[in-house]
Homo-oligomer: A and B are copies of this chain.
């Protein structure tokens, strides 16, 4: 039983932005920190912006940041937005659909699952704030994977640079 990569990436982006405390971040920076492809994050970020979770500003000085407080973003709500469907099995295409007792059981199990996620906010998930920032090398420009370098005001670049206020 797996959540999609898409949901995984959506949660990673939100965690990253929550840890960045309102600083505007680029997709390139987030992708580099997690070691995932920018392309994969692009579509995710577009949806998060459309859903009002992320504020996305284009151009010089632009970037991504959370549009809501981390306390107001429930993990269950994110998973509901990003999972393509919450049907555990292809009941609709099975010949015994309608009478099979598994369909309602799967529905109840999924509700129990989501209820746990609904009780947790993005703020709860990043309780180990400084430890997580260190793991993600937040506030470091990562030119490549071997040579992290601390950002200075003059080293800011609009697209590829990780910045810290």
A residues 2-59 touching B (CB-CB < 8 Å) = 2-4, 7-8, 11-12, 15, 33-35
Number of this chain's copies in the complex: 2
Please report the total number of A residues contacting B with Cβ < 8 Å. Answer: 48
Which residues from B are CB-within-8-Å of A100?
Answer: 15, 125, 128, 132
30 pairs from A and B in contact (CB 8 Å cutoff): A1-B1, A1-B2, A1-B3, A1-B4, A1-B86, A1-B113, A2-B87, A7-B89, A11-B102, A12-B94, A15-B102, A34-B94, A75-B102, A96-B132, A96-B136, A98-B135, A99-B128, A100-B132, A101-B126, A101-B127, A102-B125, A105-B116, A105-B117, A105-B120, A105-B124, A105-B125, A108-B116, A109-B114, A110-B113, A112-B112
